[in-house]
Structure 1
């Protein structure tokens, strides 16, 4: 009986260890990326400019500011960049399935998405821009959208903003081009989307115009699978380097995306991420700062011990009753089990 009780905590711990899903670590991810020689980044090439889109001069090649950024990141990793195609609203699920190493395609950092994946430091600050018809006079901003029909993309912050407005009919689109086309021919009263999209599809169209100043403020981030914290930190370091050497600003200026808001981003991205403590900082930390972690570990140890002992006692009582009062073959099986583990050295 004592042997069983002493053995069961070990068995429970081993079972929990074997059953616990081992996360895919970023060290493994980085090693795989470097071994295969390319970074697989998820994006939607059908989404459109200025993120990633076919080169008009050579439709077999992709261009866009995120194409340039992906190439810079891959270069810093010592590999090449390779695009993994997925519909925009499927990029996060595809990343979680392992279809890509990262996802980067104007993905807005939101609390909901942060429950599913990790994000790098923001690499772009976006705002929402309302676009209306050239002859529209009644709509001067988003406060004038009551009773109007407004288009936007699925799963965007703009969609969330519109659905929270009373009296606004929201029409969801799957591509960036379609809502502006419908707006130009009068099927919509307005389109609300991120400013980079509006700048490429709304502003150049002579039938359309901006209505009011940009609204809100948010961040684009590179999505990374949970458990890939080291990859996340590596990407943060690369982004900080691209900021410091001017390469990131050069990309934005090339695509006419640089504005005053990015100055704030460039100040923030070089600062250490709140809550992250590096190895050297942890070495200098006082011992008392580790007490909460140690107490948490002690609590887990006690919890496993209590559960193990409870199971051991319960199983021991059941086996004893079956051995003493049970009928064959149950009593024989119980006796064999007890004798087997009684003779097992610990």
Structure 2
């Protein structure tokens, strides 16, 4: 508090203007106090008013975010897509070989009346980039999991991924895991395929430190088959057509992982639009054809 010193040796000299100013200030303070007490008393009589206002604000905010994102995409004709560069066969900034996720994103954007504009980030930064509004969607092989669904929303799944079986081109005897019984099967160290082979007790797992070694061993006939993650194995074959190896097309893994378009929670209109686009592109064969261009199997969506 600031204290005012008075010179008691002189009489107070208070002008009429000062009196009027002080009077107005006092009146203003009384009015403000009255308004505050009126508001407090009103809230006491209506205890649910604050909660109702908060709910209304949140609801309106969520609706406006949803409408704004989709409207912005349609007005700007740009769909900002978060992806990881150099992650073939999924995604790449190389226009000659963009990856199947980039091609799928282009078709989805086209269906929304826009053009896909990539926003390249690291894998760990995909979800943070989306939630901070650096992009409108993640289209980069992001599998739908309960943990991720706590943070972001997903469209309907547009493809499913899993493991696949590879054999030499002259081998027509292998159609599924049961046909690997007694055969030497190359698997990647630390991968889920090792556990699958051990749990199903099918085949003799030959564990290797890297995928390239498995491919070479299979191509040279030192193992009978390989059991690998489908997209990466398919990409090896797509890059080198001289390899004497093929994918067992009829094999469908029991454990499959659905990939969906990652979206911000609250973007309900955009999610609805993506659900419709995904269903159309999946049903009309567009996504299947893009995957096959990269020799990636098109598995049924997991239940």
Q: TM-score range by the shorter chain?
A: 0.5 to 0.7
1:94-123 Cα offsets, whole Å, 9 max, x none, are: 212212111011111111111121111111
Q: Does 1:233 align with 2:269?
A: no
> Secondary structure at the residue paired with 1:107?
coil
TM superposition shift of 1:73: 1.1
CA distance in 1, matches of 2:77, 2:215: 45
Q: 1:179/1:53 Cα in 2 relative to 1: closer, same or farther (>3 Å)?
A: farther
Deviation at 1:3? 7.0
Residue equivalent to 2:33: none
1:95 equivalent to 2:123? Answer: no
What's the CA shift for 1:84? Answer: 1.0
Q: 1:131 to 1:88 in 2, by over 3 A?
A: farther
**What residue number does 1:38 align with?**
78
Deviation at 1:241, TM superposition (A): 2.1
Q: Report if the CA contact (8 A) 1:184-1:207 is conserved.
A: no
Q: Distance in 2 between matches of 1:124 and 1:75?
A: 18
Partner of 2:69: 29
**CA deviations over 1:292-330 (Å, ceiling 9, x no partner):** xxxxxxxxxxxxxxxxxxxxxxxxxxxxxxxxxxxxxxx
TM-score (norm 2): 0.59
* Residue 257 (1) aligns with residue 292 (2): no
Residue 189 of structure 2, aligned match among 141, 150, 154: 150
1:218 to partner: Cα distance = 1.8
3-state SS in 2 of match to 1:83: strand
Aligned to 2:142, the other structure's residue is in SS state coil
Q: CA deviation at 1:12?
A: 3.2
Q: Distance in 2 between matches of 1:46 and 1:114?
A: 26
Quote the offset at 1:248 in angstroms: 2.8
**Structure 1 residues 103 and 14 mapped into 2: Cα distance closer, same or farther (>3 Å)?**
same
State the alpha-carbon separation in 2 of the partners of residues 92 and 124 from structure 1: 20
The match for 2:42 is 6
1:214 and 1:240 map into 2 onto residues whose CA distance is: 21
Number of residues of Structure 1 aligned to a counterpart in Structure 2? 238
Structure 2: runs of 5+ lacking an equivalent: 1-36, 168-178, 200-206, 218-225
Assess, with a 3 A threshold, how the Cα gap between structure 1 residues 32 and 179 changes in structure 2: closer, same or farther. farther
State the distance in 1 between where 2:246 and 2:284 align.
36
Structure 1 alignment gaps of length 5 or more: 133-139, 153-157, 172-177, 269-346
Q: How does 1:107-118 map to 2 (within 5 A)?
A: 107-118=142-153
Q: Does 1:53 find its partner at 2:100?
A: no
Cα deviation, residue 83, structure 1: 0.9
Secondary structure, counterpart of 2:296 in structure 1: coil
Q: Give the aligned partner of residue 20 of structure 2.
A: none
Give TM-score scaled by structure 1 length.
Answer: 0.52
